[in-house]
Structure 1
Amino acid sequence: MLKSWKVRFGLGVLVFFVLLAIIGPLLPLDPRANDFSAISQPPSAKHLFGTTQFGQDVLAQTVAGARGSMLVGILAALIGTLIAVLVGVPAGYFGRAVDNGLNFLTNLFLVMPVLPLILIVAGYVQGTGPWVIALIIGLFGWSGGARTLRAQALSLSSRDFVLAMRMVGEPHRRLIFFEVLPHLTGWISAMFLHGMIGGVMAEAGLAFLGITDSGSISWGTMIQAAQQQSAVLRGFWWWFVPPGLCIALIGTAATMVNFGVDEVSNPKLRMARRSVVVRTRKVVEA
Protein backbone atom coordinates (compact mmCIF):
# COMPACT_ATOMS: atom_id res chain seq x y z
CA MET A 1 0.00 0.00 0.00
CA LEU A 2 2.83 2.41 0.85
CA LYS A 3 4.33 1.94 -2.62
CA SER A 4 1.64 4.17 -4.09
CA TRP A 5 2.58 7.85 -4.24
CA LYS A 6 -1.04 8.75 -3.57
CA VAL A 7 -1.04 6.84 -0.29
CA ARG A 8 2.31 8.29 0.75
CA PHE A 9 1.11 11.80 -0.03
CA GLY A 10 -2.17 11.25 1.82
CA LEU A 11 -0.50 9.78 4.91
CA GLY A 12 2.09 12.55 4.89
CA VAL A 13 -0.58 15.26 4.87
CA LEU A 14 -2.64 13.57 7.60
CA VAL A 15 0.41 13.03 9.81
CA PHE A 16 1.46 16.64 9.28
CA PHE A 17 -1.89 18.01 10.45
CA VAL A 18 -2.05 15.59 13.39
CA LEU A 19 1.42 16.68 14.51
CA LEU A 20 0.45 20.32 13.95
CA ALA A 21 -2.57 19.82 16.21
CA ILE A 22 -0.39 18.22 18.89
CA ILE A 23 2.59 20.61 18.91
CA GLY A 24 0.65 23.73 17.88
CA PRO A 25 0.18 25.03 21.45
CA LEU A 26 3.93 24.67 22.03
CA LEU A 27 4.81 27.04 19.19
CA PRO A 28 5.45 30.72 19.99
CA LEU A 29 2.27 31.83 18.23
CA ASP A 30 -0.61 33.65 19.94
CA PRO A 31 -3.81 33.46 17.88
CA ARG A 32 -5.55 36.05 20.07
CA ALA A 33 -2.80 38.67 20.16
CA ASN A 34 -3.63 41.98 18.44
CA ASP A 35 -1.09 43.85 16.37
CA PHE A 36 -2.70 47.26 15.92
CA SER A 37 0.13 48.37 13.66
CA ALA A 38 -0.89 45.71 11.10
CA ILE A 39 -4.65 45.77 10.63
CA SER A 40 -5.99 43.71 7.71
CA GLN A 41 -2.53 43.43 6.20
CA PRO A 42 -1.74 40.93 3.41
CA PRO A 43 0.99 38.29 3.88
CA SER A 44 4.35 39.81 4.74
CA ALA A 45 7.64 38.88 6.37
CA LYS A 46 6.23 39.77 9.79
CA HIS A 47 2.90 38.00 9.29
CA LEU A 48 3.36 35.18 6.79
CA PHE A 49 -0.39 34.59 6.34
CA GLY A 50 -1.42 38.20 6.87
CA THR A 51 -3.64 39.59 9.62
CA THR A 52 -7.35 39.92 10.32
CA GLN A 53 -9.38 43.10 10.76
CA PHE A 54 -8.41 43.02 14.43
CA GLY A 55 -4.69 42.59 13.78
CA GLN A 56 -4.62 38.91 14.72
CA ASP A 57 -2.10 36.73 12.95
CA VAL A 58 -3.82 34.36 10.47
CA LEU A 59 -0.94 31.85 10.63
CA ALA A 60 -1.28 31.59 14.41
CA GLN A 61 -5.04 31.08 14.08
CA THR A 62 -4.57 28.44 11.37
CA VAL A 63 -2.14 26.49 13.57
CA ALA A 64 -4.44 26.80 16.60
CA GLY A 65 -7.46 25.87 14.49
CA ALA A 66 -5.84 22.59 13.48
CA ARG A 67 -6.29 21.25 17.00
CA GLY A 68 -10.01 22.08 17.16
CA SER A 69 -10.87 20.81 13.67
CA MET A 70 -8.73 17.66 13.83
CA LEU A 71 -10.00 16.86 17.31
CA VAL A 72 -13.60 17.02 16.12
CA GLY A 73 -12.85 15.03 12.94
CA ILE A 74 -10.91 12.21 14.61
CA LEU A 75 -13.17 11.95 17.65
CA ALA A 76 -16.36 11.99 15.57
CA ALA A 77 -14.89 9.32 13.28
CA LEU A 78 -13.91 7.14 16.26
CA ILE A 79 -17.36 7.40 17.83
CA GLY A 80 -19.23 6.81 14.57
CA THR A 81 -17.00 3.90 13.52
CA LEU A 82 -17.18 2.25 16.95
CA ILE A 83 -20.99 2.41 17.03
CA ALA A 84 -21.17 1.12 13.44
CA VAL A 85 -18.98 -1.87 14.35
CA LEU A 86 -20.89 -2.61 17.55
CA VAL A 87 -24.23 -2.51 15.75
CA GLY A 88 -23.47 -3.75 12.23
CA VAL A 89 -21.17 -6.71 12.89
CA PRO A 90 -23.33 -8.50 15.52
CA ALA A 91 -26.44 -7.90 13.42
CA GLY A 92 -24.90 -9.61 10.41
CA TYR A 93 -23.16 -12.37 12.36
CA PHE A 94 -25.95 -13.53 14.66
CA GLY A 95 -28.94 -12.79 12.42
CA ARG A 96 -32.51 -13.59 13.45
CA ALA A 97 -33.76 -11.67 16.50
CA VAL A 98 -30.46 -9.83 17.05
CA ASP A 99 -30.42 -8.77 13.42
CA ASN A 100 -34.04 -7.65 13.54
CA GLY A 101 -33.51 -5.46 16.60
CA LEU A 102 -30.21 -3.90 15.54
CA ASN A 103 -31.36 -3.51 11.95
CA PHE A 104 -34.46 -1.64 13.16
CA LEU A 105 -32.21 0.72 15.12
CA THR A 106 -29.97 1.22 12.08
CA ASN A 107 -32.91 1.91 9.79
CA LEU A 108 -34.30 4.39 12.32
CA PHE A 109 -31.12 6.45 12.25
CA LEU A 110 -30.70 5.89 8.53
CA VAL A 111 -33.99 7.57 7.60
CA MET A 112 -33.49 10.45 10.03
CA PRO A 113 -32.49 13.77 8.44
CA VAL A 114 -28.99 13.89 9.92
CA LEU A 115 -28.05 17.51 9.21
CA PRO A 116 -31.27 19.06 10.58
CA LEU A 117 -31.01 16.85 13.67
CA ILE A 118 -27.40 17.89 14.25
CA LEU A 119 -28.40 21.54 13.89
CA ILE A 120 -31.28 21.15 16.35
CA VAL A 121 -29.27 19.26 18.98
CA ALA A 122 -26.26 21.55 18.61
CA GLY A 123 -28.58 24.55 18.87
CA TYR A 124 -29.94 23.31 22.21
CA VAL A 125 -26.39 22.98 23.55
CA GLN A 126 -25.20 26.18 21.92
CA GLY A 127 -21.80 27.42 22.98
CA THR A 128 -20.34 23.95 23.43
CA GLY A 129 -16.75 23.04 22.71
CA PRO A 130 -15.28 20.61 20.18
CA TRP A 131 -15.78 17.55 22.41
CA VAL A 132 -19.56 17.88 22.49
CA ILE A 133 -19.71 18.78 18.79
CA ALA A 134 -17.70 15.64 17.95
CA LEU A 135 -20.01 13.56 20.14
CA ILE A 136 -23.09 14.92 18.38
CA ILE A 137 -21.64 14.32 14.90
CA GLY A 138 -20.49 10.80 15.79
CA LEU A 139 -23.82 9.79 17.34
CA PHE A 140 -25.76 10.74 14.22
CA GLY A 141 -23.31 9.57 11.56
CA TRP A 142 -22.90 5.83 12.07
CA SER A 143 -25.98 4.27 10.44
CA GLY A 144 -24.66 4.07 6.87
CA GLY A 145 -21.48 2.34 8.00
CA ALA A 146 -23.44 -0.07 10.19
CA ARG A 147 -25.59 -1.07 7.22
CA THR A 148 -22.46 -1.80 5.15
CA LEU A 149 -20.78 -3.81 7.93
CA ARG A 150 -23.99 -5.79 8.51
CA ALA A 151 -24.05 -6.88 4.87
CA GLN A 152 -20.39 -7.88 4.94
CA ALA A 153 -20.69 -9.73 8.26
CA LEU A 154 -23.79 -11.52 6.98
CA SER A 155 -21.81 -12.75 4.00
CA LEU A 156 -18.83 -13.82 6.11
CA SER A 157 -20.97 -15.67 8.66
CA SER A 158 -22.13 -18.05 5.92
CA ARG A 159 -18.63 -18.84 4.65
CA ASP A 160 -17.33 -22.37 5.01
CA PHE A 161 -14.50 -21.57 7.41
CA VAL A 162 -16.85 -19.79 9.83
CA LEU A 163 -19.45 -22.57 9.66
CA ALA A 164 -16.77 -25.20 10.24
CA MET A 165 -15.44 -23.40 13.32
CA ARG A 166 -18.97 -23.05 14.65
CA MET A 167 -19.47 -26.79 14.30
CA VAL A 168 -16.35 -27.55 16.36
CA GLY A 169 -17.65 -25.35 19.18
CA GLU A 170 -15.59 -22.17 18.79
CA PRO A 171 -17.10 -19.37 20.91
CA HIS A 172 -18.83 -16.52 19.13
CA ARG A 173 -16.51 -13.97 20.69
CA ARG A 174 -13.45 -15.57 19.14
CA LEU A 175 -15.13 -15.98 15.76
CA ILE A 176 -16.14 -12.32 15.65
CA PHE A 177 -12.79 -10.88 16.76
CA PHE A 178 -10.42 -13.31 15.03
CA GLU A 179 -12.32 -14.50 11.96
CA VAL A 180 -14.89 -11.88 10.96
CA LEU A 181 -13.40 -8.53 11.96
CA PRO A 182 -9.99 -9.11 10.27
CA HIS A 183 -11.83 -9.43 6.95
CA LEU A 184 -13.56 -6.09 7.59
CA THR A 185 -10.48 -3.98 8.31
CA GLY A 186 -10.56 -2.40 4.86
CA TRP A 187 -14.20 -1.38 5.26
CA ILE A 188 -13.64 -0.10 8.79
CA SER A 189 -10.57 1.91 7.75
CA ALA A 190 -12.41 3.48 4.85
CA MET A 191 -15.35 4.21 7.17
CA PHE A 192 -13.05 5.95 9.65
CA LEU A 193 -11.46 8.11 6.96
CA HIS A 194 -14.86 9.04 5.57
CA GLY A 195 -16.05 9.88 9.07
CA MET A 196 -13.01 12.06 9.72
CA ILE A 197 -13.64 14.07 6.56
CA GLY A 198 -17.30 14.39 7.47
CA GLY A 199 -16.46 15.45 11.01
CA VAL A 200 -14.07 18.20 9.91
CA MET A 201 -16.54 19.52 7.35
CA ALA A 202 -19.51 19.26 9.71
CA GLU A 203 -17.63 21.21 12.37
CA ALA A 204 -16.78 23.87 9.81
CA GLY A 205 -20.42 24.04 8.74
CA LEU A 206 -21.70 24.32 12.30
CA ALA A 207 -19.13 26.98 13.11
CA PHE A 208 -20.03 28.87 9.93
CA LEU A 209 -23.67 28.91 11.12
CA GLY A 210 -22.55 30.22 14.51
CA ILE A 211 -23.68 27.17 16.51
CA THR A 212 -20.34 26.16 17.99
CA ASP A 213 -18.56 27.99 20.79
CA SER A 214 -17.40 31.33 19.38
CA GLY A 215 -14.61 31.43 21.94
CA SER A 216 -12.91 28.34 20.53
CA ILE A 217 -10.61 28.51 17.52
CA SER A 218 -10.99 26.16 14.59
CA TRP A 219 -10.88 26.42 10.84
CA GLY A 220 -14.65 26.70 10.87
CA THR A 221 -14.68 29.64 13.29
CA MET A 222 -12.01 31.35 11.16
CA ILE A 223 -14.23 31.08 8.08
CA GLN A 224 -17.20 32.29 10.11
CA ALA A 225 -15.28 35.34 11.36
CA ALA A 226 -14.14 36.12 7.82
CA GLN A 227 -17.72 35.89 6.58
CA GLN A 228 -19.03 38.14 9.35
CA GLN A 229 -16.45 40.80 8.52
CA SER A 230 -17.17 40.57 4.75
CA ALA A 231 -13.64 39.41 3.98
CA VAL A 232 -14.66 38.15 0.53
CA LEU A 233 -16.24 41.44 -0.52
CA ARG A 234 -13.32 43.45 0.88
CA GLY A 235 -10.72 41.28 -0.83
CA PHE A 236 -9.13 39.90 2.34
CA TRP A 237 -8.46 36.52 0.70
CA TRP A 238 -5.65 35.65 3.13
CA TRP A 239 -8.20 35.47 5.94
CA PHE A 240 -10.37 32.64 4.60
CA VAL A 241 -8.13 30.84 2.07
CA PRO A 242 -5.76 29.14 4.60
CA PRO A 243 -8.50 27.40 6.66
CA GLY A 244 -10.42 26.46 3.53
CA LEU A 245 -7.27 25.07 1.94
CA CYS A 246 -6.50 23.04 5.06
CA ILE A 247 -9.98 21.48 5.01
CA ALA A 248 -9.59 20.69 1.30
CA LEU A 249 -6.17 19.10 1.92
CA ILE A 250 -7.59 16.91 4.70
CA GLY A 251 -10.34 15.67 2.38
CA THR A 252 -7.92 15.03 -0.49
CA ALA A 253 -5.40 13.22 1.72
CA ALA A 254 -8.03 10.96 3.30
CA THR A 255 -9.41 10.10 -0.14
CA MET A 256 -5.95 9.13 -1.42
CA VAL A 257 -5.30 6.92 1.60
CA ASN A 258 -8.69 5.33 1.03
CA PHE A 259 -7.60 4.35 -2.49
CA GLY A 260 -4.68 2.42 -1.02
CA VAL A 261 -6.88 0.75 1.60
CA ASP A 262 -9.26 -0.39 -1.14
CA GLU A 263 -6.42 -1.96 -3.10
CA VAL A 264 -5.15 -3.85 -0.05
CA SER A 265 -8.57 -5.06 1.12
CA ASN A 266 -9.91 -5.92 -2.36
CA PRO A 267 -7.72 -8.39 -4.31
CA LYS A 268 -9.72 -7.71 -7.49
CA LEU A 269 -8.53 -4.11 -7.50
CA ARG A 270 -4.92 -5.22 -7.09
CA MET A 271 -5.25 -7.70 -9.96
CA ALA A 272 -6.95 -5.08 -12.13
CA ARG A 273 -4.20 -2.59 -11.42
CA ARG A 274 -1.49 -5.13 -12.25
CA SER A 275 -3.20 -6.12 -15.48
CA VAL A 276 -3.36 -2.46 -16.52
CA VAL A 277 0.36 -2.05 -15.78
CA VAL A 278 1.21 -5.19 -17.77
CA ARG A 279 -0.86 -4.08 -20.77
CA THR A 280 0.70 -0.62 -20.65
CA ARG A 281 4.22 -2.08 -20.65
CA LYS A 282 3.39 -4.29 -23.62
CA VAL A 283 2.07 -1.32 -25.55
CA VAL A 284 5.17 0.74 -24.73
CA GLU A 285 7.53 -2.11 -25.65
CA ALA A 286 5.69 -2.68 -28.91
Structure 2
Amino acid sequence: MWKQMIRPLFKSPKFIVGATIFLLIVLMAILGPIVYPKDPTSFAGIPEQPPSKQYPLGTDTYGGDLLAKVLNGTRSSLYIGFLVAIISMSIGLLVGTFSAIKGGIIDDILMGLTNIVLTIPSILLAILIASYLNIRSLEVIAVILGILSWPWFARAIRAQLMSLINREYVYLSRLAGYGDFRLAIEDLIPAIATYTFMAFILFINGGILGEAGLSLIGLGPTKGVTLGIVLQWAVLMEAIRRGLWWWFIPPGVIIVALTSSLLIITTAMDEVFNPKLRER
Protein backbone atom coordinates (compact mmCIF):
# COMPACT_ATOMS: atom_id res chain seq x y z
CA MET A 1 0.00 0.00 0.00
CA TRP A 2 2.72 2.46 0.97
CA LYS A 3 4.72 1.68 -2.17
CA GLN A 4 1.66 2.34 -4.32
CA MET A 5 1.15 5.65 -2.53
CA ILE A 6 4.77 6.85 -2.60
CA ARG A 7 5.87 5.88 -6.12
CA PRO A 8 3.56 8.31 -7.99
CA LEU A 9 4.70 11.16 -5.74
CA PHE A 10 8.29 10.98 -6.93
CA LYS A 11 7.06 11.69 -10.45
CA SER A 12 5.72 15.05 -9.25
CA PRO A 13 8.24 17.95 -9.44
CA LYS A 14 6.21 19.87 -6.84
CA PHE A 15 6.43 17.05 -4.33
CA ILE A 16 10.17 16.64 -4.88
CA VAL A 17 10.79 20.37 -4.37
CA GLY A 18 8.59 20.59 -1.27
CA ALA A 19 9.96 17.40 0.29
CA THR A 20 13.56 18.45 -0.40
CA ILE A 21 13.12 21.82 1.30
CA PHE A 22 11.35 20.27 4.26
CA LEU A 23 13.91 17.48 4.72
CA LEU A 24 16.81 19.94 4.50
CA ILE A 25 15.28 22.04 7.28
CA VAL A 26 14.62 18.92 9.36
CA LEU A 27 18.26 17.82 8.91
CA MET A 28 19.41 21.30 9.89
CA ALA A 29 17.25 21.15 13.01
CA ILE A 30 18.58 17.72 13.98
CA LEU A 31 22.26 18.10 13.10
CA GLY A 32 22.65 21.87 13.56
CA PRO A 33 22.76 21.92 17.38
CA ILE A 34 25.20 18.99 17.26
CA VAL A 35 27.56 20.62 14.76
CA TYR A 36 27.19 24.03 16.44
CA PRO A 37 26.86 23.10 20.14
CA LYS A 38 26.34 26.58 21.63
CA ASP A 39 23.87 27.28 24.43
CA PRO A 40 21.07 29.37 22.88
CA THR A 41 20.08 30.87 26.23
CA SER A 42 23.51 31.93 27.52
CA PHE A 43 25.54 35.10 27.00
CA ALA A 44 27.81 34.62 23.99
CA GLY A 45 29.51 37.96 23.34
CA ILE A 46 29.09 41.62 22.51
CA PRO A 47 25.39 42.51 22.05
CA GLU A 48 23.90 43.35 18.66
CA GLN A 49 26.87 42.31 16.60
CA PRO A 50 26.25 41.69 12.86
CA PRO A 51 27.14 38.32 11.33
CA SER A 52 30.83 37.56 11.52
CA LYS A 53 33.20 34.62 11.51
CA GLN A 54 32.77 34.25 15.26
CA TYR A 55 28.99 34.73 15.20
CA PRO A 56 27.63 33.51 11.81
CA LEU A 57 24.19 35.05 12.45
CA GLY A 58 25.31 37.79 14.83
CA THR A 59 24.09 38.40 18.37
CA ASP A 60 20.94 39.87 19.90
CA THR A 61 20.47 42.67 22.42
CA TYR A 62 21.40 40.35 25.28
CA GLY A 63 24.52 39.00 23.61
CA GLY A 64 22.89 35.70 22.65
CA ASP A 65 24.22 33.73 19.70
CA LEU A 66 21.47 33.94 17.09
CA LEU A 67 22.68 30.97 15.07
CA ALA A 68 22.35 28.79 18.16
CA LYS A 69 18.90 30.24 18.81
CA VAL A 70 17.73 29.65 15.24
CA LEU A 71 19.06 26.07 15.09
CA ASN A 72 17.56 25.09 18.43
CA GLY A 73 14.42 27.11 17.73
CA THR A 74 13.85 25.26 14.46
CA ARG A 75 14.14 21.94 16.28
CA SER A 76 11.67 23.05 18.96
CA SER A 77 9.17 24.44 16.43
CA LEU A 78 9.26 21.20 14.45
CA TYR A 79 8.86 19.23 17.68
CA ILE A 80 5.74 21.23 18.53
CA GLY A 81 4.42 20.83 14.99
CA PHE A 82 4.79 17.05 15.06
CA LEU A 83 3.21 16.80 18.53
CA VAL A 84 0.25 18.90 17.42
CA ALA A 85 -0.16 16.66 14.35
CA ILE A 86 -0.07 13.47 16.43
CA ILE A 87 -2.56 14.79 18.99
CA SER A 88 -4.98 16.32 16.47
CA MET A 89 -4.91 13.39 14.09
CA SER A 90 -5.39 10.84 16.90
CA ILE A 91 -8.45 12.65 18.27
CA GLY A 92 -9.93 13.36 14.85
CA LEU A 93 -9.36 9.83 13.57
CA LEU A 94 -10.87 8.29 16.71
CA VAL A 95 -13.94 10.53 16.74
CA GLY A 96 -14.54 10.39 12.97
CA THR A 97 -14.08 6.63 12.70
CA PHE A 98 -16.14 5.78 15.77
CA SER A 99 -18.91 8.13 14.63
CA ALA A 100 -19.09 6.62 11.14
CA ILE A 101 -19.04 3.00 12.30
CA LYS A 102 -21.50 3.30 15.19
CA GLY A 103 -23.97 5.75 13.65
CA GLY A 104 -27.27 6.56 15.38
CA ILE A 105 -27.24 8.41 18.69
CA ILE A 106 -23.47 8.00 19.12
CA ASP A 107 -22.91 9.63 15.74
CA ASP A 108 -25.22 12.51 16.71
CA ILE A 109 -23.44 13.06 20.04
CA LEU A 110 -19.92 12.93 18.59
CA MET A 111 -20.74 15.17 15.63
CA GLY A 112 -22.59 17.56 17.93
CA LEU A 113 -19.48 17.83 20.10
CA THR A 114 -17.34 18.25 17.00
CA ASN A 115 -19.56 21.05 15.71
CA ILE A 116 -19.38 22.85 19.05
CA VAL A 117 -15.59 22.77 19.09
CA LEU A 118 -15.52 23.75 15.41
CA THR A 119 -17.62 26.88 15.99
CA ILE A 120 -15.34 28.16 18.75
CA PRO A 121 -12.50 30.37 17.40
CA SER A 122 -9.57 28.07 18.15
CA ILE A 123 -6.88 30.77 18.25
CA LEU A 124 -8.89 32.85 20.73
CA LEU A 125 -9.48 29.83 22.96
CA ALA A 126 -5.77 28.93 22.73
CA ILE A 127 -4.88 32.48 23.81
CA LEU A 128 -7.34 32.27 26.70
CA ILE A 129 -6.00 28.92 27.93
CA ALA A 130 -2.34 29.92 27.54
CA SER A 131 -2.89 33.22 29.39
CA TYR A 132 -3.98 31.33 32.51
CA LEU A 133 -0.84 29.19 32.60
CA ASN A 134 2.23 30.63 34.30
CA ILE A 135 4.52 27.86 33.03
CA ARG A 136 4.14 26.71 29.44
CA SER A 137 6.45 23.99 28.17
CA LEU A 138 6.75 22.95 24.53
CA GLU A 139 4.46 20.01 25.27
CA VAL A 140 1.81 22.22 26.91
CA ILE A 141 1.69 24.50 23.88
CA ALA A 142 1.40 21.45 21.61
CA VAL A 143 -1.47 20.02 23.70
CA ILE A 144 -3.34 23.35 23.65
CA LEU A 145 -3.05 23.60 19.88
CA GLY A 146 -3.67 19.90 19.32
CA ILE A 147 -6.94 19.63 21.26
CA LEU A 148 -8.34 22.60 19.33
CA SER A 149 -7.35 21.57 15.79
CA TRP A 150 -9.05 18.20 15.22
CA PRO A 151 -12.76 18.94 14.44
CA TRP A 152 -12.45 19.56 10.67
CA PHE A 153 -10.45 16.35 10.32
CA ALA A 154 -13.02 14.34 12.30
CA ARG A 155 -15.83 15.59 10.05
CA ALA A 156 -13.82 14.81 6.91
CA ILE A 157 -12.94 11.31 8.13
CA ARG A 158 -16.56 10.59 9.01
CA ALA A 159 -17.73 11.73 5.57
CA GLN A 160 -15.18 9.58 3.77
CA LEU A 161 -15.84 6.50 5.89
CA MET A 162 -19.60 6.84 5.48
CA SER A 163 -19.06 6.45 1.75
CA LEU A 164 -17.05 3.27 2.35
CA ILE A 165 -19.24 1.52 4.92
CA ASN A 166 -21.78 0.40 2.32
CA ARG A 167 -19.16 -1.17 0.07
CA GLU A 168 -19.36 -4.91 -0.57
CA TYR A 169 -16.00 -5.75 1.01
CA VAL A 170 -17.13 -4.11 4.26
CA TYR A 171 -20.29 -6.25 4.26
CA LEU A 172 -18.17 -9.34 3.69
CA SER A 173 -15.95 -8.40 6.62
CA ARG A 174 -19.04 -7.97 8.79
CA LEU A 175 -20.26 -11.40 7.72
CA ALA A 176 -16.84 -12.83 8.57
CA GLY A 177 -17.32 -11.61 12.13
CA TYR A 178 -15.10 -8.53 12.14
CA GLY A 179 -15.64 -6.29 15.14
CA ASP A 180 -15.68 -2.49 14.89
CA PHE A 181 -12.00 -2.12 15.79
CA ARG A 182 -10.79 -4.75 13.33
CA LEU A 183 -13.06 -3.37 10.62
CA ALA A 184 -11.63 0.12 11.11
CA ILE A 185 -7.99 -1.00 11.22
CA GLU A 186 -8.05 -3.52 8.36
CA ASP A 187 -10.69 -2.21 5.95
CA LEU A 188 -11.60 1.42 6.48
CA ILE A 189 -8.58 3.43 7.65
CA PRO A 190 -6.16 1.94 5.03
CA ALA A 191 -8.57 3.13 2.32
CA ILE A 192 -8.10 6.75 3.42
CA ALA A 193 -4.37 6.55 4.19
CA THR A 194 -3.48 9.16 1.58
CA TYR A 195 -5.92 11.72 2.95
CA THR A 196 -4.80 10.98 6.51
CA PHE A 197 -1.17 11.60 5.58
CA MET A 198 -2.10 14.90 3.90
CA ALA A 199 -3.99 15.95 7.03
CA PHE A 200 -0.97 15.04 9.17
CA ILE A 201 1.18 17.41 7.10
CA LEU A 202 -1.39 20.19 7.42
CA PHE A 203 -1.48 19.68 11.20
CA ILE A 204 2.32 20.07 11.36
CA ASN A 205 1.96 23.30 9.42
CA GLY A 206 -0.76 24.54 11.74
CA GLY A 207 1.26 23.65 14.83
CA ILE A 208 4.32 25.60 13.65
CA LEU A 209 2.24 28.66 12.76
CA GLY A 210 0.16 28.38 15.92
CA GLU A 211 3.22 28.35 18.15
CA ALA A 212 4.70 31.31 16.28
CA GLY A 213 1.45 33.24 16.69
CA LEU A 214 1.21 32.56 20.43
CA SER A 215 4.88 33.42 20.96
CA LEU A 216 4.59 36.72 19.10
CA ILE A 217 1.95 37.90 21.60
CA GLY A 218 3.93 36.62 24.58
CA LEU A 219 1.96 33.41 25.23
CA GLY A 220 4.40 30.88 23.80
CA PRO A 221 6.64 28.49 25.73
CA THR A 222 8.18 29.95 28.88
CA LYS A 223 11.19 27.62 28.66
CA GLY A 224 13.44 26.86 25.73
CA VAL A 225 13.77 28.60 22.37
CA THR A 226 11.50 28.42 19.33
CA LEU A 227 11.41 30.35 16.08
CA GLY A 228 8.39 32.23 17.40
CA ILE A 229 10.25 33.26 20.54
CA VAL A 230 13.22 34.53 18.50
CA LEU A 231 10.80 36.67 16.47
CA GLN A 232 9.00 37.80 19.62
CA TRP A 233 12.19 39.22 21.13
CA ALA A 234 13.13 40.79 17.81
CA VAL A 235 9.81 42.63 17.85
CA LEU A 236 10.11 43.63 21.52
CA MET A 237 13.62 45.01 20.98
CA GLU A 238 12.50 46.83 17.79
CA ALA A 239 15.02 44.97 15.65
CA ILE A 240 13.20 45.92 12.46
CA ARG A 241 13.20 49.65 13.20
CA ARG A 242 16.84 49.60 14.26
CA GLY A 243 17.96 47.63 11.21
CA LEU A 244 19.09 44.46 13.03
CA TRP A 245 18.13 42.35 10.03
CA TRP A 246 20.13 39.31 11.14
CA TRP A 247 17.79 38.95 14.12
CA PHE A 248 14.41 38.69 12.40
CA ILE A 249 15.11 37.60 8.81
CA PRO A 250 16.60 34.09 9.44
CA PRO A 251 13.77 32.80 11.68
CA GLY A 252 11.18 34.42 9.41
CA VAL A 253 12.68 32.82 6.32
CA ILE A 254 12.75 29.38 7.97
CA ILE A 255 9.09 29.64 9.06
CA VAL A 256 8.06 30.69 5.56
CA ALA A 257 10.17 27.94 3.98
CA LEU A 258 8.78 25.31 6.36
CA THR A 259 5.14 26.20 5.92
CA SER A 260 5.49 26.74 2.17
CA SER A 261 7.22 23.38 1.67
CA LEU A 262 4.46 21.60 3.61
CA LEU A 263 1.76 23.31 1.54
CA ILE A 264 3.60 22.39 -1.67
CA ILE A 265 3.73 18.76 -0.52
CA THR A 266 -0.01 18.64 0.20
CA THR A 267 -0.82 20.38 -3.10
CA ALA A 268 1.33 17.88 -4.99
CA MET A 269 -0.32 14.95 -3.22
CA ASP A 270 -3.75 16.33 -4.03
CA GLU A 271 -2.83 16.64 -7.69
CA VAL A 272 -1.42 13.11 -7.80
CA PHE A 273 -4.23 11.31 -6.00
CA ASN A 274 -7.25 13.46 -6.87
CA PRO A 275 -8.46 12.55 -10.38
CA LYS A 276 -10.14 15.94 -10.79
CA LEU A 277 -6.86 17.79 -10.23
CA ARG A 278 -4.51 15.32 -11.86
CA GLU A 279 -2.59 16.87 -14.71
CA ARG A 280 -3.43 15.37 -18.08
The amino acid of 2:185's aligned partner reads F
* Residue in structure 2 matched with residue 251 of structure 1 by the alignment: 259
Q: Structure 2, unaligned stretches of length 5 or more?
A: 1-8
The amino acid of 1:70's aligned partner reads L
The amino acid of 1:147's aligned partner reads R
Q: 1:87 aligns with which of 91, 95, 104?
A: 95
* Residue in structure 1 matched with residue 224 of structure 2 by the alignment: 216
* Residue in structure 1 matched with residue 5 of structure 2 by the alignment: none
Structure 1 counterpart SS, 2:11: coil
Residue 103 of structure 1: CA displacement? 0.9
* Residue in structure 2 matched with residue 30 of structure 1 by the alignment: 39
* Residue in structure 2 matched with residue 47 of structure 1 by the alignment: 55
* Residue in structure 1 matched with residue 120 of structure 2 by the alignment: 112
Residue 191 of structure 1: CA displacement? 1.1
The amino acid of 2:240's aligned partner reads V
> How many angstroms apart in 2 are the aligned matches of 1:50 and 1:43?
4
The amino acid of 2:241's aligned partner reads L
Cα gap change, 1:173 to 1:215, in 2 (>3 Å): closer
Q: 1:129 aligns with which of 122, 130, 137?
A: 137
**Aligned partners of 1:207 and 1:220 also within 8 Å:** yes
**Aligned partners of 2:101 and 2:180 also within 8 Å:** no
Cα gap change, 1:166 to 1:214, in 2 (>3 Å): closer
- Establish whether residue 202 from structure 1 lines up as the match of residue 210 from structure 2: yes
Farther-moved stretch of structure 1 (27-36 vs 192-201): 27-36
- Establish whether residue 11 from structure 1 lines up as the match of residue 19 from structure 2: yes
**Aligned partners of 1:185 and 1:265 also within 8 Å:** no
Structure 2 counterpart SS, 1:125: coil
The amino acid of 1:169's aligned partner reads G
The amino acid of 1:32's aligned partner reads T
Residue 108 of structure 1: CA displacement? 1.6
**Aligned partners of 1:208 and 1:221 also within 8 Å:** yes
Structure 2 counterpart SS, 1:163: helix
1:160-203 CA-to-partner distances (Å, cap 9, x unmatched) read 32223324433332221111111111221111111111111111
1:109-156 CA-to-partner distances (Å, cap 9, x unmatched) read 111121111111111113311011001100111001101111001111
* Residue in structure 2 matched with residue 158 of structure 1 by the alignment: 166
Q: Structure 1, unaligned stretches of length 5 or more?
A: 276-286
Cα gap change, 1:206 to 1:171, in 2 (>3 Å): same
Residue 23 of structure 1: CA displacement? 3.3
TM-score calculated relative to the size of structure 2? 0.90
Once the two structures are aligned, what percentage of the paired residues are identical?
A: 35
Farther-moved stretch of structure 1 (153-162 vs 25-34): 25-34
> How many angstroms apart in 2 are the aligned matches of 1:26 and 1:130?
20
Please give the root-mean-square deviation of Cα atoms over the aligned residues, in Å. 1.8
Structure 2 counterpart SS, 1:128: coil
* Residue in structure 2 matched with residue 282 of structure 1 by the alignment: none
How many residue pairs were aligned?
271
Q: 2:233 aligns with which of 212, 225, 230?
A: 225
TM-score calculated relative to the size of structure 1? 0.88
Residue 70 of structure 1: CA displacement? 0.8
* Residue in structure 1 matched with residue 197 of structure 2 by the alignment: 189
> How many angstroms apart in 1 are the aligned matches of 2:238 and 2:23?
33
